[in-house]
Chains A and B, each alone.
Chain A
Amino acid sequence: MPSAHPMVPLPCSVRRIQRETHDTFSVELSPGHEFPFVAGQFNMLYWFGVGEVAISISGDPTKPGRLTHTIRSVGSVTQGLQKLKPGDVLGVRGPFGKGWPVETAAGGDLMFVAGGVGLAPLRPAIYYVLANRKRYGRVVLLYGARTPADILYKQELERWRARFDLQVHVTVDHGTGGWQGRVGVVTSLISKPDFDPGSTTVMICGPEVMMRFTEAELEKRELPPQNIYISVERNMKCALGLCGHCQFGPTFICKDGPVFPYESLRRFLAIREV
């Protein structure tokens, strides 16, 4: 049950902290009751005396008793959150926003394209699809990270790679430390898998530049742009569409997104500093 008033945080204690990479960690919270959410939605996490930040839910939507967020420590609040330990209490507001179109994608092929920490907001959609695997055609995950050390969810990726019903391709921009895998940008993976362009839904999450390059590569493979969905990040304060911060052209990322059909944002993605 979300908090009674969407502006007021609901206290949730930290059950587990999982270090993912040198600068990224996952926090599993105990909301104390079921916390239903849709893959792609986000919460506002408040830590007493530190501040509040918008973080996508990165856990499994088919297991609503657990609430997981994957956080990269880059800002003042997220750096503060690095000090979290089990038993600490966070305030949670949410879940907010529109999620990935996992329902409308059923029946066709599905491609996830993730860049960097962008794998986190996509993971709930991957969980959902794997839990309902029969409803989808071919399912492909393309993932690009900066270096091998920046790859999220390494063990999980290995488990997924071992499945026969999920194609996983991982690449890094810079191959370091005896990396025997692929070196190259994530867009170079798009030529790899077989899919039926007309019936494939693509869900992309990563830096805006990466999403633009990915869309251009998909166009080369004749994938209709209306099949592409992206998740967009902007400054969030209220998460309710009332504070004005997250505007992107005519949209409010918090209530109209964060997941959007690519076509609906295309013209604004091409304009600087919108």
Chain B
Amino acid sequence: MNGEPATTGRQFVIEREHFDQLFELLARKGYRVVGPRIRDGAIVYDQVNSAADLPAGWTEEQEGGKYRLKRREDEALFGYAVGPHSWKKFLHPPNVRLWQAMRKEGSLEVQEEKQEVPKTAFIGARSCELHAIAVQDRVFMNGPYLDTSYRLRRDSVFIVAVNCGCAGGTCFCVSMNTGPKATSGFDLVLTEALEEGRHYFVAESGTETGAAVLAELSQRPAEDREIRSAEEVVARTAGQMGRTMDVSDIKGLLYANYEHPRWDNVAARCLTCGNCTSVCPTCFCTTVEDVTDLSGQKAERWQKWDSCFTMDFSYIHGGSVRSTPKARYRQWMTHKLATWIDQFGTSGCVGCGRCITWCPVAIDITEEVRAIRESDFRRTKRDRHGDTGTDSG
């Protein structure tokens, strides 16, 4: 079946026993292949050499502040939702050296870092994650200044997406209109199907590069029955969402509720640990650290992930602008769901649920939105005024 033209938009079937070819092929084409594997009791993204490295037969239980691996009854390779990692760590790494400087007798020589970026293939990106990548694309590549290092990484990526076969307990991509079916932003997309003893993937290419890869794999055109099965997998997942969020006029809602008492309530629980910002696939904030060597002649600047939950983040002369946990949580959530829309023309939330799962005190962004919406200041303001005198109308 090799050599059959695999054009964009047509669907093909790859049997499970041929799936290893994908890894071999990508490696042969010079890609570093990264994908899901189990480490330290979680499914993380790291180098994978073959399908054997994938978390076959594992899924996870996710709830607010809770994540636990669990055996599946089958040997699905992608039978989980999302773990603590996202692809952000490859496209927007936690530590990047920006430049090195040398001091020589009163002069200063600054050398821009030449970024070494390997061609990388992502195996198993979910729809919410593709949306997250698209969000970061807007942040780093659509403003007045381009993040050249991000651009370089972004241009070196081959993405194999997987339509979700199950939803996690904290997932709400359906509310955010970001899943569970991948519709764009991939080179190849797979739907994993397990039925009546069969285990196969329905595959479709999204780019010419993807089509070329697909053409080199052992595949055949999918039958209607198989396409229907794949569609059922996604439909089933869409019906399993652990969370929902009403996003109607969410920008207006949050802009009008900066002084809502709910912020005090959530601040009393929030530890300002910044876990949510680390696991969030769209959180992009960084700081820089300048380090000098012992001789004092050589310095380096490193760009590092930062979090709006730290005091330093908003520090100006005299102290932090956001000195209270309330202000910092409000900044994070209002940015994610409201000001982001004004900044980048899209929400900063893709409904992956990681911030809920990985919050040590189980703060739930969907619950916080619900609480604010239930007593929206715009609606309740009138009720807070007491009796009025007869002459004041």
What's the minimum C-beta distance from A263 to chain B, rounded to whole angstroms?
Answer: 15
- At the interface, is chain B mostly helix, strand, loop or mixed? mixed
Is B343 engaged at the interface, CB distance under 8 Å to the other chain?
A: yes
Is A164 engaged at the interface, CB distance under 8 Å to the other chain?
A: no
What's the minimum C-beta distance from A47 to chain B, rounded to whole angstroms?
Answer: 9
Separation of A252 and B285 alpha carbons in the complex (Å): 12
Asked if A5 and B306 sit within 8 Å, CB to CB, the answer is no
B131-172 toward A: CB 8 Å interface, digit per residue (1/0)?
000000001100111011000000000000000000000000
Asked if B327 and A243 sit within 8 Å, CB to CB, the answer is no
Asked if A242 and B139 sit within 8 Å, CB to CB, the answer is yes
Asked if B343 and A250 sit within 8 Å, CB to CB, the answer is yes
Asked if B321 and A234 sit within 8 Å, CB to CB, the answer is yes
Known interface pairs A9-B110, A91-B108, A250-B343. Does A243 touch B335 (Cβ–Cβ under 8 Å)?
Answer: no
Interfacial chain B residues near A9, Cβ < 8 Å = 99, 101, 108, 110
Asked if B322 and A273 sit within 8 Å, CB to CB, the answer is yes
What's the minimum C-beta distance from A174 to chain B, rounded to whole angstroms?
Answer: 19
Asked if B106 and A235 sit within 8 Å, CB to CB, the answer is no
Is A247 engaged at the interface, CB distance under 8 Å to the other chain?
A: yes
Is A7 engaged at the interface, CB distance under 8 Å to the other chain?
A: yes
A162-178 toward B: CB 8 Å interface, digit per residue (1/0)?
00000000000000000
What's the minimum C-beta distance from A208 to chain B, rounded to whole angstroms?
Answer: 10
Asked if B342 and A250 sit within 8 Å, CB to CB, the answer is yes
Interfacial chain A residues near B140, Cβ < 8 Å = 242
Interfacial chain A residues near B110, Cβ < 8 Å = 8-11, 91
Q: Which of B99-151 contact A (CB under 8 A)?
A: 99, 101, 103, 106-110, 112, 139-140, 143-145, 147-148
Q: Nearest residue in B to A270 (C-beta to C-beta)?
A: B258
Interfacial chain B residues near A224, Cβ < 8 Å = none
Is B19 engaged at the interface, CB distance under 8 Å to the other chain?
A: no
Known interface pairs A75-B317, A240-B143, A250-B342. Does A271 touch B258 (Cβ–Cβ under 8 Å)?
Answer: yes
What's the minimum C-beta distance from B30 to chain A, rounded to whole angstroms?
Answer: 27
Asked if B296 and A241 sit within 8 Å, CB to CB, the answer is no
Is A150 engaged at the interface, CB distance under 8 Å to the other chain?
A: no
Is B288 engaged at the interface, CB distance under 8 Å to the other chain?
A: yes
B253-293 toward A: CB 8 Å interface, digit per residue (1/0)?
00000110000000000000000000000001111101010
Is B324 engaged at the interface, CB distance under 8 Å to the other chain?
A: yes
Asked if A89 and B101 sit within 8 Å, CB to CB, the answer is no
Binds A, one of B31-39, B308-316, B379-387: B308-316
Is B331 engaged at the interface, CB distance under 8 Å to the other chain?
A: yes
Asked if B299 and A245 sit within 8 Å, CB to CB, the answer is no
Separation of A249 and B255 alpha carbons in the complex (Å): 9
Separation of A233 and B303 alpha carbons in the complex (Å): 22
Is A244 engaged at the interface, CB distance under 8 Å to the other chain?
A: yes
What's the minimum C-beta distance from A82 to chain B, rounded to whole angstroms?
Answer: 14
Separation of A234 and B106 alpha carbons in the complex (Å): 31
Is B8 engaged at the interface, CB distance under 8 Å to the other chain?
A: no
Size range of the chain B interface in the assembly: 35 or more
Binds B, one of A35-43, A48-56, A120-128, A188-196: A48-56
Is A130 engaged at the interface, CB distance under 8 Å to the other chain?
A: no
B76-105 toward A: CB 8 Å interface, digit per residue (1/0)?
000000000000000000000011010100
A207-237 toward B: CB 8 Å interface, digit per residue (1/0)?
0000000000000000000000000011101
Is A161 engaged at the interface, CB distance under 8 Å to the other chain?
A: no
Asked if B290 and A52 sit within 8 Å, CB to CB, the answer is yes
Interfacial chain A residues near B306, Cβ < 8 Å = 237, 243-245
Separation of A13 and B106 alpha carbons in the complex (Å): 9
What's the minimum C-beta distance from B377 to chain A, rounded to whole angstroms?
Answer: 12
Interfacial chain B residues near A88, Cβ < 8 Å = 106
Is A261 engaged at the interface, CB distance under 8 Å to the other chain?
A: no
A81-106 toward B: CB 8 Å interface, digit per residue (1/0)?
00000011111000000000000000
Asked if A235 and B313 sit within 8 Å, CB to CB, the answer is yes
What's the minimum C-beta distance from A108 to chain B, rounded to whole angstroms?
Answer: 29
Asked if A273 and B321 sit within 8 Å, CB to CB, the answer is yes
Is B357 engaged at the interface, CB distance under 8 Å to the other chain?
A: no
Which residue among A237, A241, A242, A272 has the maximum number of chain B CB atoms within 10 Å of its CB? A242
Q: Which residues of B contact A (CB under 8 A)?
A: 98-99, 101, 103, 106-110, 112, 139-140, 143-145, 147-148, 258-259, 284-288, 290, 292, 296, 299, 303, 306, 308, 313-318, 321-324, 326-327, 331, 335, 338-339, 342-343
Q: List 18 A-B contacts (CB under 8 A).
A: A4-B112, A5-B148, A6-B145, A11-B109, A11-B110, A48-B299, A49-B299, A78-B317, A91-B110, A240-B143, A240-B147, A243-B285, A244-B285, A244-B308, A250-B342, A250-B343, A255-B143, A255-B144
